[in-house]
Amino acid sequence: MMNRRHFLAAGLGTLAAPAIAQTANAPQADTAPAAPELWTPDPIMPRVIRLATPMNPGEIHVDPATFSLLWTLPGNRAIRYAVGIGRGDLYESGEFFVGAKKEWPSWTPTPEMIERNPREYKQWEDGMPGGPNNPLGARALYLFVPGRGDSFLRIHGTNAPRTIGSAVSNGCVRLVNPHVQHLYEQVPLNTRVVLGAKA
């Protein structure tokens, strides 16, 4: 089991974004939020990293090229989470804000999802209750666009760790459940979210 000190002392993983430099000195235990105390495969463990390019604290930035989500912290640092993203042209880059947050959210596939894959999604057109088997996992951050409202994009959990680090979703950004729970506790409503453009 990974303990808190091990998490904070861990270096930047091999999937680090180009704009991120490895932390020269690991932060002390009282300078960053606690890590999830649940085991996940080491390559996708969150890392506290130092940013090579300054970013405002309290924002979420997703780099699709490296399957990274950054939660920016004061002092030019961030927590880097490994994520899965939307496949093909279902990934939508742009600037959003967190318009809603839900624990163990229910899920309803969009009409477009049902049209693309009726065999899998038609049965849930009236919604699936929240729970361990729900595709949105333990927590979800709902991404909104000013003047447009709900984008129907989410940053959410998944109980399928094997999908992290790949482009497989219907457009949303996914983290394993322990990590999305950790992120969820830190992110307030109206947080700015930037989904970076694919190369």
Spot the catalytic one: 61, 172, 179, 182: 172
- Tell me if residue 156 is catalytic: yes
Place of tokens 């951050």: 141
The stretches of 28-89 forming alpha helices (DSSP H) are none
Give exposure, 4-30, as e/b (b: 16+ Cβ within 10 Å). Answer: eeebbebebbebbbebbeebeebbeee
User: Which residues face 95 on adjacent strands?
Assistant: 194
Spot the catalytic one: 6, 61, 156, 179: 156
Place of tokens 């704009």: 19
Q: Is 89 left (phi over 0), alpha (psi -120 to 50) or beta?
A: alpha
- Tell me if residue 172 is catalytic: yes
Task: Please state, as a whole number, how many other Cβ atoms lie within 10 Å of the Cβ of residue 2.
Answer: 16
Residues annotated catalytic, as ranges: 156, 172
